[in-house]
Amino acid sequence: MPDLTAVKTALKAQRIELPSWAFGNTGTRFKVFAQPGVPRTVQEKIDDAAQVHKYTGVAPTVAVHIPWDKVADYAELAAYARGQGVAIGTVNANVFQDDDYKLGSVCHPDPRVRRKALAHLLECVDIMDATGSQDLKLWFADGTNYPGQDSIAARQGRLAEALDAAYRRLSASQRLILEYKLFEPAFYTTDVPDWGTAYLHCVRLGEQAKVCVDTGHHAPGTNIEFIVALLLKAGRLGGFDFNSRFYADDDLMVGAADPFQLFRILHEVHTAGGFDRAAGIAFMLDQCHNIEPKIPAQLRSVMNVQEATAKVLLIDTDALAAAQQAGDVLGANAALMDAYNTDVRPLLAEVRVELGLDPDPMAAYQRSGYAEKIVADRIGGTPASWGS
Ligand code: RM4
Ligand code: MN
């Protein structure tokens, strides 16, 4: 059986990154439902993220999305975050919300648009230099809607050129994290549709290029843990964008739609030693809270990742290995299911108390009065939303 002290130590050491955009107003293409008390500025997004860290103790970094989180002085923003007890994490480039990008960004047929998109990627590395961020995360909405619309092969060439230039701009401690997504907004072809495409580009680029697995970016029924195991084995898993999906890129709370899938994914991470900080796996949330309150939803999400992690850490790996070696199919399956079926909430409550936190982050946050305070304080201004 795993040593409980070691399990607790691993849970205390876990780090989960929050997305700044989870705190702004979001919705679907049908409607964005505004919520009261939503941040008007990047600083207020950081304030809200800091609340999630305050009550969980494991979420000390906030990913930013540029230009949604554009400011004049990024070193100052990093200092502001430090003042709130958190740090700026991954810098996400955004080359999908400009009229110029109708036919794509770095894969666009017009070299002028490609230059503009690349300039933005390079600007994001400048921002990383100022904030001390390690990761540049690239997701491209590029693709085509109709057969014949553009050359699939030519677009791959243009993509490679832009990635090469962005990669060359990185310093030795920075990484380029390439994210794939099956479809949407393009419907016929997507220029980085799957892990294989992302992996091929990363291998060509070099060791500092890794793949991001966004759990919402696969076809229904895809075995994501298999992809994770392969990428880990190849040393090319940069990290996760965690969320839940029922149908497409739903961006719901991680572990909500299929907590067992999250457990299976994290089991592969554990098997490969990926919970070790040195493995460099980034555990990030990429979610939108359209109808639920945002800070509690982020708390719930962090707790869902912690619960799945705790269950994985409780797997009796010796019994599992012995059963696998002996061809004991049911025994091996039982070793996993025993851990999965354990109620780890009391264990996590203990971990929090040992960290000097409230055992129940959700209740502690609700009691704090912060939710009421931001509704009362944040009057006027423009609430943060997609595109601002
Ligand atoms: C994309 C992708 C990116 C995220 C944007 C908002 O679908 O998941 O990671 O930054 O959405
Ligand atoms: Mn994502």
3-state secondary structure 147-174: CCCCCHHHHHHHHHHHHHHHHHHCCCCC
Claim: this prediction has a pTM higher than 0.95: yes
pLDDT at 387: 60
pLDDT at 386: 76
Residue identifier of the C-alpha nearest atom 3 of ligand 1: 139
Residue identifier of the C-alpha nearest atom 10 of ligand 1: 92
Question: Which atom from ligand 1 is nearest to the alpha carbon of 216?
Answer: 8
Comparing C-alpha atoms, which of 94, 82, 78 is closest to residue 129?
78
Taking only the tens place, the pLDDT of each residue in 184-212 is 999 999 999 999 999 999 999 999 999 99
CA of 350 to the centre of ligand 2 (A): 32
Which residues hold their Cβ within 5 A of ligand 2, which is an ion?
214, 241, 286
State the chain's mean pLDDT as an integer. 98
Mean pLDDT of the 226-236 span: 98
Please indicate whether residue 181, judged by its CB atom, sits closer than 6 Å to ligand 1.
yes
Give the integer Cα–Cα distance in Å for 82 and 32: 31
Question: Which ligand is nearest to the Cα of residue 249, counting in written order?
Answer: 1
Give the integer Cα–Cα distance in Å for 72 and 67: 11
Taking only the tens place, the pLDDT of each residue in 106-151 is 999 999 999 999 999 999 999 999 999 999 999 999 999 999 999 9
pLDDT at 2: 92
First-to-last C-alpha distance (Å) of the chain: 50
Backbone angles phi, psi at 143, to 5 degrees: 170, -170
Comparing C-alpha atoms, which of 195, 258, 206 is closest to residue 230?
195
Give the integer Cα–Cα distance in Å for 258 and 246: 9
CA of 286 to the centre of ligand 1 (A): 7
Question: Which atom from ligand 1 is nearest to the alpha carbon of 249?
Answer: 7
Give the integer Cα–Cα distance in Å for 70 and 49: 17
Taking only the tens place, the pLDDT of each residue in 252-282 is 999 999 999 999 999 999 999 999 999 999 9
pLDDT at 1: 87
Q: To the nearest whole percent, how much of the chain has pLDDT over 70?
A: 99
Q: Is the pLDDT of residue 67 over 70?
A: yes
| DSSP characters over 105-129 | STT-SSHHHHHHHHHHHHHHHHHHH
Q: Is the pLDDT of residue 369 over 60?
A: yes
- Ligand 1: residue of 176, 286, 288, 386 to mutate (most ligand atoms within 8 A of CB) is 286
Taking only the tens place, the pLDDT of each residue in 344-366 is 999 999 999 999 999 999 999 99
Residue identifier of the C-alpha nearest atom 2 of ligand 1: 139
pLDDT at 388: 52
Q: Is the pLDDT of residue 178 over 60?
A: yes
Question: Which ligand is nearest to the Cα of residue 214, counting in written order?
Answer: 2
Mean pLDDT of the 303-319 span: 98
DSSP state of 135: E
- CA angle 297/302/306 to nearest 5° reads 145
